[in-house]
Amino acid sequence: MRCSVLGDPVAHSLSPVLHGAGYAAVGLDWWYGAVRVPAGEMPAFLASLGEDWRGLSVTAPLKREALAIADAASDRALLAGAANTLVRVGEEWHADNTDLPGAVAAVRERYDGAVTAGTIVGAGATAASTGLALCELGATRVRLLARDPSRAEETVEAVRRHPSGPEVEVRPLTTGDVVGEVVVSTIPADAQTAATVELSASAAVVFEVVYDPWPTPLARRAAERGQVVVGGLDLLVHQAALQFTAFTGVPAPLAAMRQAGEDELRARSEQ
């Protein structure tokens, strides 16, 4: 059976490492790769796949496109307005969003305190999933700090759809400030200015969804300040474990997948 991660760019993805380690740990003779699929080309790609293809992990910029073209979707994918997972069921592709529960698990693994509010730096599909995760953790107020607030409408609508009815607001990244116990950053490491890094100083938890390069400027500074740091690998492992089980029907070997990810990031940092 064949699975893959799709995105553009995608060569940096750790997903093949994690899933490959999972297959080895449970004795599955499956293949997992990384395929560059530009925005707008998912329908043609899906149509080209043979019957041996079972599951697809979906990353930027394809998460909203994946939901739109799926034959069916889970409630949490519909809630987020984006899918990071496509599972083949017969002749159909079913969409799911494992980023949302993966983010909840990643935070709770490192932090057991209250979450009454949170701030997200960024406003794309990952911001929507992590915003909903903050609501699952108890946040009644979510603030988005966006480089272009005019492009945040889909994310705002997604977070507002949470059954708890959270207060959601958008402010410019350059002038906005942080609220709540958790700050989530969804922007690339090379976009993290000194001012952006210092925004998170008041938070108990800094959740950096980027995992490569690691540590990012934001994660490094948060560790220096003694804040709880939830890393992109934490999120990736937890959401990948859920995908692994959805694709294979086998419980995910979480420890083996995490170790493989840590080893790969260490090797990359030494190059």
> What percentage of residues in the chain have a pLDDT greater than 70?
100
Q: What is the pLDDT of residue 182?
A: 98
Taking the domains of the chain in order of start, what are their residue ranges? 2-97+234-269, 100-230
63-93 tens-digit pLDDT: 999 999 999 999 999 999 999 999 999 999 9
Q: What is the pLDDT of residue 206?
A: 98
225-257 tens-digit pLDDT: 999 999 999 999 999 999 999 999 999 999 999
Q: What is the mean pLDDT of residues 182-202?
A: 95
Q: What is the pLDDT of residue 135?
A: 98
| Alpha-carbon separation of residue 158 from 98, 107, 126, 165 (angstroms) | 15, 20, 11, 11
User: How far apart (Å, rounded) are the C-alpha atoms in residues 252 and 238?
Assistant: 10
| Alpha-carbon separation of residue 78 from 4, 67, 163, 221 (angstroms) | 22, 8, 13, 35
149-184 tens-digit pLDDT: 999 999 999 999 999 999 999 999 999 999 999 999
CA R_g for the chain: 18
Q: What is the pLDDT of residue 74?
A: 98
| Alpha-carbon separation of residue 29 from 2, 3, 18, 118, 188 (angstroms) | 10, 12, 15, 42, 34
Averaged pLDDT score across all residues of the chain: 96
**Residue 214 clears pLDDT 90, i.e. is over it:** yes
pTM above 0.85, yes or no: yes
CATH 3.40.50.740 fits 2-97+234-269, yes or no: no
**Residue 270 clears pLDDT 90, i.e. is over it:** no
**Residue 271 clears pLDDT 90, i.e. is over it:** no
**CB-CB contact of 261 with 236 (8 Å):** yes
Structure tokens given for 57: 């992990």
Same CATH fold assignment for domains 2-97+234-269 and 100-230: yes
For the annotated catalytic residues, the residue numbers are 63
100-230 fold: Rossmann fold (3.40.50)
Q: What is the pLDDT of residue 36?
A: 98
Long-range contacts of 255-259 (CB under 8 A, 24+ apart): 256/21, 256/22, 256/24, 256/25, 257/18, 257/19, 257/21, 257/22, 257/25, 258/233, 259/21
**CB-CB contact of 74 with 51 (8 Å):** no
Structure tokens given for 216: 């990012």
